[in-house]
A and B are shown apart, each in its own frame.
Chain A
Amino acid sequence: MFSKILIANRGEIALRIARSCRELGIKTVAVYSEADDKSLHLKLADETVCIGPPDSRKSYLHQERILDVAKKTGAQAIHPGYGYLAENATFATACLNQGFAFIGPTPLNLKLAGDKIVARKMMEKAGVPVIPGSRGPVGSIEEAGIESERIGYPVMLKSAGGGGGRGIRICRNAAVLAEEFPIAGMEARASFGNGELYMEKVIVDPRHIEFQILADRDGNTIHLGERECTIQRRYQKLIEESPSPALTPRLRERMGNAAVVAARAIAYFNAGTVEFLMDGNGNFYFMEMNARIQVEHPVTELTTGLDLIKEQIRLAWGEPLRDSLNPVESRGWAIECRINAEDPERNFAPCPGTIKEYQPPGGFGVRLDTHLYQGYELPIYYDSLLAKLITHDRTREGAIRIMKRALTEFRISPVKTTIPLHLKIMDDPVFQSGDFTTDYIRKFVPDDDDEDE
């Protein structure tokens, strides 16, 4: 097994990775920017190295600097977490060329999954249904306009290099497209270091359901069940759960099989996620392959009892999938609420500041993944995810009940968070019924729109 791993990330996922490494007896190197010198992930690592200024492009996205630290500290592998360099094929290639294991998919996987147009073609060929979209990346407002006319408005502008919802804008007409195009590019660059955009037709009132995949070096590929990620705001997931209340055993089997076919179609290695959109009639479409560990992976961990970070590390080391994992037994119901530094009362405006009061929840069925502590000052430079509160029980009703209790215990101030919104949702009979679509959040944010007023 690896003896030392460099964690090329920050925030809660850096802690998450450090913890799994500690349990596996692997030493860790934490890297950080000048804005993160008080960050909690530094306390959990064996070594810490500052890699540059607050701007991510000069720190967490700075490939040479990170590789240089890996070399100097004697790390054997690099875990990229999610976001930043996690799906950067150039970086994964550089890692391998310089003798480091990249804990994630192969560079070719990243290229194929990252090129949504190529991925779409390969999925079609493999018999997986796809969403209509642009033929290639759109490089200019003019080109985007032509493609939009062909696909038909409304269209979605998405980050070709990204996923995770950042850089996505809905454009109802050419005028909106012209205004949103450069901003979407900026967000994409800031989040992923790649400003390239592509487009997809908007599917009305869908559910977002994804399948967790694991695959070993020999191509053995399994899925660990689905995650329901329909509760979103502006393509940012707010609540995820597993299993999905919308799937029948038969539909689950069909989608699970399609997800495994999709992963095999690009010879996928390590942990990944196949995202589908599902319409009201149970038709599902491949949306994209997320070639990384995802933010919402804990709901799958709680229902399967598997530590996915450890699985990633084992697979990267070259271990085969254990026979006991096929099929994986799924137990109970898990729900995750993303606690963001956003003010639901002020149109989800980000809310930087110092955490003066911090009282985390606990007790039966509660898991909290967070980098917060009392006195922590939230940097303005990074995303607003503060904590992932995850609950698990034998039934969905039970998991909701635990979530309500845990949200009530959770105190963060004076920074505004999404906790009050999550409480309202947990109390809502429509959420409790399990019958909702991606526009669900408008019930609580009635004037929310992708176009600014």
Chain B
Amino acid sequence: MSETEKNSHRIEVRAPMSGVFYKSPAPDQPPYVEVGDVVRKKQVLALLETMKVFQKVKSPAAGIIVEIAARNETPLKDEQIMFVIDISSSS
């Protein structure tokens, strides 16, 4: 994480509230993104379930997924890191 902070080309996507993290739209479907994927701004990265409501976690910027920090189907706390995205290649 400290490495991430030092690198200005990397941004973190954090949970906007506590909830359960889902990396795919359904258990029998492939994940929205994998490490190494190129993502657009506003692309759906995951779902977060809080009190029965699923919200889409969208990418704040274009870039490459360098880390998926959250584990599938586990509860996250408010502000917990979900993704690290490298935005150096885009402008």
Contacts and interface: CB of A to CB of B under 8 A. Distances in A.
A and B are partners in one complex rather than unrelated chains: yes
Interface residues of A, number: 24
Given A182-B25, A186-B47, A380-B18, A452 B52 contact: no
Given A185-B26, A380-B20, A190 B51 contact: no
The dominant DSSP class at the B interface is strand
A301 interface: no
B58 to A, nearest CB: 8
15 contacts: A54-B75, A179-B44, A183-B25, A185-B25, A185-B26, A189-B26, A190-B49, A190-B54, A195-B26, A349-B16, A350-B53, A351-B17, A352-B50, A380-B49, A382-B52
Contacts of A439: none
Contacts of A187: 52-54
Interface string B45-62: 001011111111010000
A182 B51 contact: no
Interface in A333-371: 341, 349-352
B52 A384 contact: yes
Q: Name the residue in B26, B44, B53, B54 with the highest tally of chain A Cβ atoms < 10 Å from its Cβ.
A: B53
A185 B54 CA distance: 11
B85 to A, nearest CB: 19
B22 A186 contact: yes
A379 B22 CA distance: 18
A270 B54 CA distance: 33
Contacts of A382: 51-52
Interface of B: 16-20, 22, 25-26, 29, 44, 47, 49-56, 58, 75
B78 to A, nearest CB: 9
B52 A166 contact: yes
Per CB-CB distance, the 5 closest pairs between chain A and chain B, nearest first, are A182-B25, A350-B51, A384-B51, A383-B52, A350-B50
Nearest to B58: A452
Contacts of A444: none
B26 A182 contact: yes
B56 A452 contact: yes
A381 interface: yes
A378 B29 CA distance: 30
Contacts of B49: 190, 380
A289 B11 CA distance: 49
A191 interface: yes
Given A352-B17, A380-B20, A380-B75, A182 B29 contact: yes
A33 to B, nearest CB: 13
Contacts of B29: 182
B51 A352 contact: yes
A192 to B, nearest CB: 11
B18 to A, nearest CB: 5
Contacts of A54: 75
A380 B26 contact: no
Contact of A186 (B17, B25, B51): B25
Interface string A147-176: 000000000000000000010000000000
A183 B17 CA distance: 19
Nearest to A348: B53
A426 to B, nearest CB: 25
B54 A186 contact: yes
Contacts of B26: 182, 185-186, 189, 195
Interface in A2-61: 54
B11 to A, nearest CB: 20
Contacts of B54: 183, 186-187, 190
